[in-house]
Amino acid sequence: MSQVNVKSNKDAFLEDLSALISIPSTKDASQAKEGAPFGPGPLAALEKILEMGDRDGFRTKMLQGYAGYIEYGPEDAEDYIAVLGHVDVVPATGKWAHDPFTAHVENGTLYARGAIDDKGPTMAAYYALKALKESGAPIKNRIRLVIGTDEESGCACMQKYNELEPMSLFGFAPDAEFPLIFAEKGQIRAWIKLPQTVGDAPVHISSFYSGERINMVPDHAYAILAGTEAEKWSAHAQAELKAKKVPLTVENTEQGIKLTVKGQSAHGSEPAGGVNAAFLLAAALKELPLIPTEQAFIDLLADTLTNDFGGERLGIKYHDDVSGELTVNVGVIRFGEAGGTVSLDIRCPIKASLDELTKTLTASVEKLGLSIGELGTSKPLYMDPKHPAVQILKNVYEKHMGLKNVELLTSGGGTYAQYLDAGVAFGACMPGYPYTGHQVDEHVKVDDLLLASEIYADAMAELGNLEK
């Protein structure tokens, strides 16, 4: 059982975590530069945790602003175990009860952006490394806490890390749920291209805007209506929305009448768990007498994509016995007179062919008279549950929880574990507690983070002696 006691460092843990949370580390491509490839926020958060590593006597290294690491163990050891966390966060959209970038603890629960995704779990892993160092437990492999800065927007940080550093013997990402995730779905990220608007009508959509990240269910959407009959058709749309009790605000702008609706955010891997604001707004605009290009856009949202979380209307519905159903999230929508894009975040079961799904998706979109612009894929993750390292993590978890024969999990979420030759996702969300990453008022129990930290410390001690 545990050789360490992380809970005795609770005050220091919260102080360090609060400092990390206070940095608004969302990606800002407009301010990207050499040494800060994702903007100043993610870099500042990375620098902060590396400073902690220096303070506490670890070996640290900055990797061109993409990632960094904090390392402990025999410096001349041939192999290392990777623990992969990230300090970038998604935008804090919606109305929060407290400042999302100030750690607020109430009744033992920590509220903040990054509380569970992934600053809280990353700090739990860091304090586990500290506890392992203080325990003096003998290990033969190095333990390396790798910190990324672009997990929420494409993982370019891990691609760069793998270019610059050797592959680990094994690793885990504290960025999901306990007991352990041995299989993660593959991903297709596609942007449907919308043509430039051509023609005239008594009402037209000057602008349609929804969502901030492809892997979030958008909790807001607005459309600006212009034209000689904008007022008439705006009133029609308002009546539709009010009848469905959709939260709505209306304002007159220089561009036209702006209708803004509210939905409910959720993680893009579980789109049915949220309320997509773009779908609500598109449905209210369906009967407007629009020009064909604008009508094609609204039809795409309202008829093809609305609540089709399994991709059936796109012809890509798929299920397997390992990881379940394919899911589709419509995360970012931008449309105006110059055309625009609609993003799709598609989580694909382990046994699905990404190539075949991509071909089918492309054909389905072309049948609608549209096209696919940018497109990217990520391979699925599968680790044999009987792998010795997987069994080590399972056994450590069971001992701490007083359980036996726990059932290992599969997930629609993608973690850094996909960038390892051998690795899994391991915590930190405890069973039975809601996972609130990407949501308003994101939160986690402080004691759950501390328990996760003790689990991680023992796991590091065990994996520190993993044989090749």
Quick one: pLDDT at residue 243? 96
HSE of 335, CA atoms in CB hemisphere, 13 A = 29
pLDDT tens sequence across 181-205 = 999 999 999 999 999 888 889 999 9
Q: Coil, helix or strand for 321?
A: coil
Return the closest-CA partner of residue 339 out of 271, 396, 399, 291. 291
> In this structure, what is the dihedral angle of CA atoms 126, 187, 95, 24, given to the nearest 10 degrees?
40
Quick one: pLDDT at residue 4? 54
Q: What is the pTM of this model?
A: 0.84
Q: Coil, helix or strand for 11?
A: helix
Distance between CA atoms of residues 465 and 60, nearest Å: 22
Quick one: pLDDT at residue 196? 87
Question: What are the residue ranges in the chain where pLDDT is below 70?
Answer: 1-7
CATH number of 6-184+381-463: 3.40.630.10
CATH number of 187-378: 3.30.70.360
Q: Would you say 150 and 157 are in contact if contact means Cβ atoms under 8 Å apart?
A: yes
Could you tell me where the beta strands, DSSP code E, fall in 107-247?
109-111, 142-148, 170-173, 176-177, 181-184, 186-194, 204-210, 220-226
Write down the domain spans for the chain. 6-184+381-463, 187-378
Q: Which residues are catalytic?
A: 88, 151
* C-alpha angle 63-67-71 in degrees, rounded to nearest 5: 80
What is the DSSP code string of 226-292?
ESTTHHHHHHHHHHHHHHTT--EEEEE-SSSEEEEEE-B--BTTSGGGSB-HHHHHHHHTTTS---H
Quick one: pLDDT at residue 5? 64
Q: Would you say 157 and 64 are in contact if contact means Cβ atoms under 8 Å apart?
A: no
Residues belonging to the chain: 468
The label of the residue with tokens 């604001």 reads: 277
Q: Would you say 398 and 406 are in contact if contact means Cβ atoms under 8 Å apart?
A: yes
- CB burial class (10 A; 0-12, 13-18, 19+) of residue 97? exposed
Rg (CA), the chain: 23
Phi, psi of 7 (to 5 degrees): -60, -25
